[in-house]
Chains A and B, each alone.
Chain A
Amino acid sequence: MTAEPLFALWVYLAATPLAGLTLTLALYALAWWCYVRTGMHPLANPVLLAVMLIIMVLTLTRTSYQTYFDGAQFVHFLLGPAVVGLAVPLAREWRSVRRLAWPIAVSLLVGSMVALVSAVGIGWLLGATPVTLASLAPKSVTAPIAMGIADKLGGLPALAAVFAVSTGILGAALGKYVLDACRISDWRARGFALGLAAHGIGTARAFQVNADAGAFAGLAFALHAMLAAILFPLGFWLLRAG
């Protein structure tokens, strides 16, 4: 048999959404298997592993991201209902959330400020350009909001998305070590910190570890998104007016 029919088959398959969708699920399954095999080791983060494997395949087969996303969009689309669904574990924890309204509000503001000031401050000290600094500022907020904020601050939305996703993966991978070193034994505090500092990817990790942590991570993720979406444009408006 010559390679021609096989090549034609490959061209056909690669051009349909089927390839991108199958690739996403199959390589995620492989990444998940590694994650479980290592006892859910935080450094074997399944998002990071799956993304690296998929980029490798796309590069080797010279497939464009657009072609890949034609199939992967079906997975991507489910992010919407998944975020809406985070209300369910949150409502389950409502009694606890209401009693802890004060710690939630204060740690939300403290964490948000620390994330913003330390990222911009360190970048500035090490000589990053203003465009990079503006794209770094919202890096702890979920990517769609971070992109909008960076745009308003004079940064690049695509760069802001890179920083947001990298932060999410970093937070999910390092969270356990940082929180252990700080002797944080309260699962709610651990989850809240993961959701605040590492948005959705940190929330995903929190759900894998503990149900309480997951609910509080979802809460921090949503509150931080709301806070950033309201406070950043307001701060920018004040800076302009001042």
Chain B
Amino acid sequence: MSPFLAGITWLLLFQCAGEALARLTGMPVPGPVLGMISLFFALLVRPSFALSLATAADGLARHLSLLFVPAGVGVMLHLHRVADEWMPIAVALLVSTVLALAATAWTFQYLARRIDPADAERTS
């Protein structure tokens, strides 16, 4: 089997496992997120498993932005619903996104530098 086919089959199997887990436990987490966590633990137990997944997983990650397009189109069709309140919404979204980016990155970098000063400076 080609590496891509084998990889996508494994990804779908883990997604099924994630969906099943979400249903059985009633956890309000999307199946794919649980599938990702299950796959992550599987990879920790058997690191060599990554070889059969890399082609499919990296290929999908490279084109991740394409996969958001259909949902994005659907969402933008609802934009008229916010017409009355567009100003507070636009300001809240813009300022809050900027603040969240800055606060997260600053906290992460500040703490990471205290743990490994040399490693945190790599810019590769």
Contacts and interface: CB of A to CB of B under 8 A. Distances in A.
Are A and B a genuine interacting pair, yes or no? yes
Contacts of A76: 67, 70-71
B105 A84 contact: no
Q: Which of under 10, 10 to 19, 20 to 34, or 35 or more describes the interface residues of B?
A: 35 or more
A51 B72 contact: yes
Interface residues of A, number: 120
A198 B70 contact: no
Nearest to A164: B75
A134 interface: no
Contacts of A190: 105
A69 to B, nearest CB: 6
A188 B32 contact: no
A162 B82 contact: yes
Interface in A88-124: 88-92, 94, 96, 99-100, 102-104, 106-108, 110-111, 114-115, 118-120, 122-123
Interface string A191-207: 01110111011011101
Given A91-B44, A145-B28, A174-B98, A188 B33 contact: no
Given A87-B37, A192-B108, A222-B33, A78 B60 contact: yes
Interface in A119-148: 119-120, 122-123, 126-129, 132, 136, 139-140, 142-145, 148
A214 B61 contact: yes
B91 interface: yes
B1 interface: no
A198 B97 contact: yes
A141 B52 CA distance: 30
A51 B116 CA distance: 41
Interface string A69-82: 10011011011111
Contacts of A197: 97, 100-101, 104
Contacts of B120: 185-186, 188-189
Given A58-B73, A75-B67, A139-B96, A92 B11 contact: no
B93 A170 contact: yes
B57 A104 contact: no
Contacts of B101: 171, 174-175, 178-179, 193-194, 197-198
A65 B73 CA distance: 8
B9 to A, nearest CB: 10
A123 B28 CA distance: 26
A150 interface: no
Interface of B: 7-8, 11-12, 14-15, 18, 27-33, 35-37, 39-40, 43-44, 47, 50, 53-54, 56-58, 60-62, 64-79, 81-82, 85, 87-89, 91-113, 115-116, 119-124
Interface of A: 24-25, 28, 32, 45-48, 50-52, 54-55, 58, 65, 68-69, 72-73, 75-76, 78-92, 94, 96, 99-100, 102-104, 106-108, 110-111, 114-115, 118-120, 122-123, 126-129, 132, 136, 139-140, 142-145, 148, 156, 158-159, 161-172, 174-175, 178-179, 181-182, 184-190, 192-194, 196-198, 200-201, 203-205, 207-208, 210, 212, 214, 218, 220, 222, 225-226, 229-230, 233
